[in-house]
Amino acid sequence: MDKLIISGGAPLGGEIRISGAKNAVLPILAAALLADDTVTIANVPHLHDVTTSMELLGRMGVGLVVDEKMNIEVDPRTISTFEAPYELVKTMRASILVLGPLVARYGAADVSLPGGCAIGSRPVNLHVKGLQALGADISVEQGYIKARAKRLVGNRLVMDMVTVTGTENLMMAAALASGESIIENAAREPEVVDLANFINQMGGKIEGAGTDTIYVQGVENLHGTEYRVMPDRIESGTYLVAAAISGGRIKLKNTRPDIMDAVLQSLREAGAIITLGDDWIELDMEGRRPRSVDIRTAPYPAFPTDMQAQFTALNAVAEGVGTITETVFENRFMHVHEMQRMGADVRVEGNTAIIRGVKRLTGAPVMATDLRASASLVLAGLVAEGDTVVDRIYHIDRGYECIEEKLAQLGAKIRRVPS
């Protein structure tokens, strides 16, 4: 298993290009199952989760062609089985996203239940309840969700809580149901909008994505198309924090400032000077140490849970005391204990981390059990004295394309070594 070694101290500077969004491309790959023809997906990031999704589709018999620019051509016409096996679902929970498309398009889906996860229990009861309301017959047998249906029938779906992949699964299923579905208390995340745009480009009739009420007029079939995935707002935010934490100055290209309000606001509070264009963001700390910020995570448009670990790292070296309150997942402070080993002054009380910034962290061997926590340890390493060795970086490779190349391009001293 590879490790990353980071020698802290250098302020970051320069320009990088932001990749396509992991959490948009995963549902879009699943939604390709809905089509009657080939779809081509562009701006696909080279990530381990994308490889896992392709393996999942490939095992079902779906045709896949990838070119040197990571454009992926998906041909669902050769599909022969409708199963997402445990060994893939356990490595990537987002595999659950094939449930809705399979049952809507092929009337059958056998998808392994994901089970618990490092950041919380993460049940999928709302995915199941919604599909049942659309007429699917669902049972759980030997750890698998078995869903069967003739044609699904549109319905009013009131979500008990805001769930991103739950909203996406139901939106995909409703796209081929007969009649209209209304999803209330829907997730408003920009990735839900990207998925709706993709389905509409295949001939779907979805309105209201990006608000809490989504209207889906089911259609008979969906055709092939070419689609470009939106930029990754979490990758963008992570590099902005990397610059802010190190007192540096960077420019991100190919990004979307319009969907990053909460994160940009927190960075301004931390003392960053931010300049925006349509598809670029420039952040300048003018060599200053950041100020602590208070953060509370919640569904979009509030502050994203996928950015809280990175801001924990920022607060760890900021001036003053900052709090991070996590309201989306019940157990997302794994990074705190590793940062404490680097000299961070953090106390966790319930779902809040109280962080008193220190002038310097010290490098240490660390590891994390989820993607964003691992990224936060890399950020902490950028400003720590000496070397930080981040283990188990397969988590990072799930969601950050070429992280060490991009950070090195910005002047960080970082290298990957096999263990």
Interface contacts to ligand EPU, rule CB under 6 A: 22-23, 26, 94, 120, 122-127, 161, 163-166, 305-306, 328-329, 371-372, 399
Q: Closest separation between CB of residue 372 and ligand EPU, Å?
A: 5
Place of tokens 């089509």: 35
Which residue of the set 10, 117, 274, 402 is catalytic?
117
Of 82 and 329, CB closest to ligand EPU = 329
Minimum distance of ligand EPU from residue 416's CB (angstroms): 20
**CB burial string 99-109: b at 16+ within 10 A, e below:** bbbbbbbbbeb
Residues 44, 70 contacting (CB under 8 angstroms): yes
Q: Which residues contact 52 (CB under 8 A, 6 or more apart)?
A: 88, 91, 92, 95
**Kind plus residue range of the DSSP H or E element containing 158:** strand 156-158
Measured from the CB of residue 165, what is the shortest distance to ligand EPU in angstroms? Answer: 3
Min dist CB 67 to ligand EPU, Å, is: 24
Which residue, 169 or 181, has its beta carbon nearer to ligand EPU?
A: 169
Shorter beta-carbon distance to ligand EPU: residue 219 or 230: 230
Shortest reach from residue 162's CB to ligand EPU, in Å: 6
Phi, psi of 247 (to 5 degrees): 70, 25
Two structure tokens written together for 174: 């409703």
The C-alpha atoms of residue 307 and residue 376 are separated, in whole angstroms, by 9
Catalytic residue at 117?
Answer: yes
| Distance, C-alpha 267 to centroid of its chain | 20
What is the spatial distance between Cα 224 and Cα 374, in angstroms, rounded to a whole number? 37
Task: Specify the residue, 122 or 268, whose C-beta has the smaller distance to ligand EPU.
Answer: 122
| Amino acid occupying residue 319 | E
Which one, 98 or 328, has the nearer CB to ligand EPU? 328
d(CA 242, CA 377): 11
Active site residues: 117
